[in-house]
Amino acid sequence: MTSTRGAPGSGWILADFDDTLAPGDSHAGLLRFILRRRLWPLLLLPVIALGGLVYLVPSLRRQGISLIWWAITLGLSPLGWRQLVRAYCHTRPGLFREARALLLAEGHRCWVLSASPRALVRAQLHRQLPRLPHRIIGSRMHYRLGGLVPRFYCHGRHKILPGIRALGATLALSDSLHDLPLLALGEEAWLINPSARRLQQARVSLPHLEVKNWRL
């Protein structure tokens, strides 16, 4: 059953970004976008494939995504990186209508937490909103051996940074089972556009979850 109630009237809001506030996985989309425009990193396809296999091991996700990022961005300058992020943001569809309304009304109390690079999340929100949310926390990228890799991979339980738990959030929202630790922090928790199977799995841990079906 889909709830039609709005956000709680006070307190902090914790929100995932990809497939929660905006449709699609912009993290994976940016990697594909960069690869299509550089092409020569295809010579490193074995490294990219290895990274994909390593990523499937839950305890090695950061190492796997680091291999993928490094291979695709090897030799990319800081200026080239910023230009590609900006260009990619122009291809994105924007925010879900309901997410945009939430951020316009309650952005001053929203923390957006995403596995995508912070620069990517910030650029997308900047294009869609007159004012950015209170805080944007994403994966922090840096250069290592000539390519970009995440210094900090803001995924799953790693979103629960020191201080996040102490906020006493009144609402948490995500589309992903990886974010169950984040959803558990909210007095209310919204699961965005879930399949029946995902909803069933999520409610094993969080039976009070509310479903929100959001559209562009």
**pLDDT for 143:** 98
Pairing of strands 171-174, 188-192: parallel
Establish if 6 belongs to a structural domain. no
Q: How far is CA 117 from CA 4, 12, 138, 139, in A?
A: 32, 22, 5, 4
- CATH number of the domain that 188 lies in? 3.40.50.1000
Count of domains observed in the chain: 1
CA distance 81 to 104: 29
- pLDDT above 60 for 1: no
**To which residue do tokens 């006070």 refer?**
10
Asked, for residue 1, whether it belongs to a domain, the answer is no
Q: Per residue in 92-144, pLDDT tens?
A: 999 999 999 999 999 999 999 999 999 999 999 999 999 999 999 999 999 99
Tell me if the pTM is above 0.85: yes
Asked if the structure places residue 3 within a domain, the reply is: no
